[in-house]
Amino acid sequence: MNHLLELLSQIPDPEIPVINIVELGIVRDAKMISENEAEIVITPTYSACPAMFNIEEDIIKLFRENGISAKVITKISPVWTTDWMNDEAREKLRDYGITPPEKGANENHLNVPKKCPRCGSENTREISRFGSTLCKATYQCNNCLEPFDYFKCH
C-alpha cells in the first residue's frame, strides 16, 4: 500500500466509523502530482448522502497536517457499487451489526435474503426502507427478533 493510501486509511467512513474510506472502495486513485501535491480521486457511495460532503474536507485537512496539499477530484462515473467494498470491510460491517451487501447483488435483487448479523438466520423482514441513514435499510430478524441495519446495495 502506498503512503497516500496509508494516510487515506486513517479517514473513517462518516456513517460507519469502523470502516475507512479505502476499504469502502471510494478512493479510486491517489498519486503525487508534484513534490508536495497529491491528487485524490474519490467516487461517493451515494450522491444523496450528506455525509459524503465532509470526506473531501477531511482529506484536505489530513494531508495538510502531513505537509501535502491535496487536490480532491470527485468522479461520479462509473458509479460506486457495493462490489468495490473489500472483504475486510464486509467483515467489519458484520461485526458492527450491519449486514453487508452480498457481492454482485443489487437493488433489483430484492429477493436476496438479508442475513441476521446476530444469529445468521435468513428469516428476516424489512421494517423500514430508510434506516438510520439513507444508505441503510432497517430489517428485523424473525428468529431472534433483533432489528438490524442492512447496507443497501446500489
Nearest distance from residue 100's CB to Zn ion, in Å? 15
Quote the distance between the C-alpha of residue 69 and its chain's center.
Answer: 25
Of 6 and 122, the one with the shorter C-beta distance to Zn ion is: 122
Helix ranges (H only) for the chain are 3-8, 52-65, 87-96
Nearest distance from residue 2's CB to Zn ion, in Å? 41
Of 86 and 138, the one with the shorter C-beta distance to Zn ion is: 138
d(CA 13, CA 24): 8
Amino acid type, 78 = P
Nearest distance from residue 144's CB to Zn ion, in Å? 3
Q: Which stretches of the chain bind Zn ion, using CB under 5 A?
A: 116, 118-119, 121, 141, 143-144
Of 76 and 119, the one with the shorter C-beta distance to Zn ion is: 119
d(CA 56, CA 40): 9
